[in-house]
Amino acid sequence: MPKTLRRPSVSLSHLIVPLLALLVIVIFNVIHDPSFFSVSLVVNNSGNTVLSGNLVSILNGASELAILAMGMTIVTAASGGQDISVGAGAAIAGSVFVKVIKSGNSSLGLILFAFLACCLAIMLFGAFNGALVAIFKIQPMIATLILFTAGRSIAYWVNGGATPTVSGDLLGYLGGFFPGMPVPTPVFIVIATGALFALALKFTNLRLYVQAVGINSTSSRLNGINTTWIKLLSFIILAACVAIAGVIRVCRLGLINHETILLDIEMDAILAVAIGGNALSGGKFSLAGSVIGAYVIQALTTTLYALKVPSNAVKSYKAIVIIALVAVGSPVIKKLLVKARDSFLLKRKAAGGAS
């Protein structure tokens, strides 16, 4: 009797839960309101013809979350823990961006410079987090608790004002639509970020090293991998994602409210990683899963708004769906499913052998 049965490839089985979740939300919405996913062309108030509809809202609205989820996946895989300071970090990044933009006339050059400046600033904070985790071996959630607590105050201090505003055509294009382009710009930024990750994972040893460190840090070190550097690097990569997300959010509305910008996004980002079928204890990871997880969360939010769930109850509804999702993806349920499948296959095999 064969002791092991061939399992489906790991990455595909990881994607089953998030894809299923997405499918359930889609089917639910189509039944509830057949026109939910209809997309139409409208002329917006600046005279551009743009796409409009719930599908566009979901794709557009999930942009920041999708980008953060990618970075969070790398940190999770390498360190076996999560960074809970991404929301506060985005407040700092956004504030630095606004500070630099306000010093000039929001030309393309200045925007690029502002982006680089905020990237650099938040990467320093990311390196601080990473150093606490990689060098001082502090648990990631505790290490990032420091920035989680202090980040929004630092963001306030950067601009010294409550809701500084910036304006400029180019900023508006970045957060909304480029003239003549019917798809929102943040969607393209997600695609570009995803492509960068894909290239880095394909042409460097990043995936191998990150997974090795996440699975067994000691043996990775004994095999010559610089585990400290890999963990540090994962936090710096996440910091770059935080900078992109913060800048998108600032460009969307041309202002930064350091107290509310991307508030509680860390929980959604961690959730996206979990829904994506990644182990929160580190090791093997799937970026695609996390990104799909991000869209699942945004689709859920948009659905709840469309259903006009009362304000007081939104979080409870979200919680119920999430509990269901996480339960379906839990190892115990998965094991039961695999067992059921195995016994089914064995029975069939036995039946086949007998005949």
Partner 1 sequence: MKKFICLAIALVLALGAMAGCASKAPASTGPKVIKVGIVNNPPSESGYREANVKDFESVFTAANGYEVQTYYSLKNDEQLNAAKQFITGKVDYLLISAAATDGWDSVLQDAKNAGIKVFLFDRMLNTSADLYEAAVVSDMAKEGETAVSWLKAQNLGTYKVIHIQGAMGSDAQIGRTGALDAEFASGAMTKITQQTATWDEATAKQIVEAVINSGEDFNVIYAENDGMAKGAVSALDEAGITHGVGKDVVVMGFDCNRWALRELLAGNWNYDGQCSPFQAKVISDMIKSLESGGSIAQKKVISEEKGFDATTITQADIDTYGLGE
Footprint of partner 1 (CB under 8 A)? 33, 35, 42-46, 50, 52-54, 57, 61, 135-136, 146, 150, 152-154, 156-157, 161-165, 176-177, 249, 252-253, 255, 257-261, 263, 301-302, 305-306, 308, 310-312, 314
Tell me how far, at minimum, the Cβ of 162 lies from partner 1, in Å. Answer: 3
Q: Which amino acid is at 276?
A: G
Cα(191)–Cα(189) distance, integer angstroms: 5
Tell me how far, at minimum, the Cβ of 44 lies from partner 1, in Å. Answer: 5
Tell me how far, at minimum, the Cβ of 47 lies from partner 1, in Å. Answer: 9
Tell me how far, at minimum, the Cβ of 101 lies from partner 1, in Å. Answer: 13
Per the structure block, which two tokens stand in for 104? 């000039």
The residue among 120 and 150 lying less far from partner 1, judged by its C-beta, is 150
The residue among 26 and 146 lying less far from partner 1, judged by its C-beta, is 146
The residue among 135 and 319 lying less far from partner 1, judged by its C-beta, is 135
Q: Helices 10-32 & 265-275, crossing angle to 10 degrees? A: 110
- Compute CA distances 246 → 45, 164, 239, whole Å: 25, 14, 10
User: Are 255 and 175 contacting, i.e. CB atoms less than 8 angstroms apart?
Assistant: no
Q: Which residues contact 272 (CB under 8 A, 6 or more apart)?
A: 65, 66, 68, 69, 72, 290, 291, 293, 294, 296, 297
Cα(36)–Cα(307) distance, integer angstroms: 11
The residue among 95 and 220 lying less far from partner 1, judged by its C-beta, is 95
The residue among 46 and 330 lying less far from partner 1, judged by its C-beta, is 46
The residue among 130 and 289 lying less far from partner 1, judged by its C-beta, is 130
Q: Name residue, tokens 């939910």.
A: 36
Cα(68)–Cα(192) distance, integer angstroms: 14
3-state SS record for 148-195 = HHHHHHHHHHHHCCCCCECCCHHHHHHHCCCCCCCCCHHHHHHHHHHH
The residue among 63 and 220 lying less far from partner 1, judged by its C-beta, is 63
Cα(74)–Cα(282) distance, integer angstroms: 9
Q: Which residues contact 150 (CB under 8 A, 6 or more apart)?
A: 88
Tell me how far, at minimum, the Cβ of 195 lies from partner 1, in Å. Answer: 25
Tell me how far, at minimum, the Cβ of 277 lies from partner 1, in Å. Answer: 26
Tell me how far, at minimum, the Cβ of 213 lies from partner 1, in Å. Answer: 21
Tell me how far, at minimum, the Cβ of 333 lies from partner 1, in Å. Answer: 32
226: Cα separation from own chain's centroid = 26
The residue among 80 and 164 lying less far from partner 1, judged by its C-beta, is 164
